[in-house]
Amino acid sequence: MNTDLQLTTQSLDYLNQTRKWTYFLSILGFITCGILALLGLFLSTFLSILDEFSNNFSDSTSLTGGALIFVSIFYIGIALLVFLMYRYLYRFSIQLKAALESNNSATLEESLKNLKSYWKFTGIITIIVLGFYVLGVLAALIGVIFAGSIA
């Protein structure tokens, strides 16, 4: 089995174009991460002020302190996941640039390792989200069946 893989000039050009897009997308991902973290920090405060304002017009309280903390933790957790995901993409683009400039196979290998980790992380998150969708559909079906049996 021949393990010597040669990259053509066109292949290197494709990798360089990919690097530019992944760098751009990783920067946008970091910005998204920052926005989500800020939402996590300030959304619970904003919701509690909004809840207090709406309570001036009615006697009931709609949000509890626990729900507000959950919202904050949820958004900060999502921000952390987004950061981890796009860190792999950022490392890929930075290391790929170094590999292409220095023609270094070890740096290219490390770059591709980060790309693999990015897609593995994305795949795991996708599987988890799909699992939540399935659980949500099952809960909705059980709710409809239960509501139908009561009526």
pLDDT digits (tens, 9 = 90+) for 41-55: 888 777 777 767 666
pLDDT of residue 22: 97
pLDDT of residue 67: 75
Q: Would the pLDDT of 114 be above 60?
A: yes
pLDDT digits (tens, 9 = 90+) for 22-38: 999 999 999 999 999 99
Nearest to 39 by CA among 93, 85, 82: 82
Euclidean distance between CA atoms 128 and 149, whole angstroms: 31
Q: Would the pLDDT of 59 be above 70?
A: no
Domain boundaries, the chain: 9-114
Euclidean distance between CA atoms 67 and 44, whole angstroms: 9
Q: What is the full DSSP assignment across 75-87?
A: HHHHHHHHHHHHH
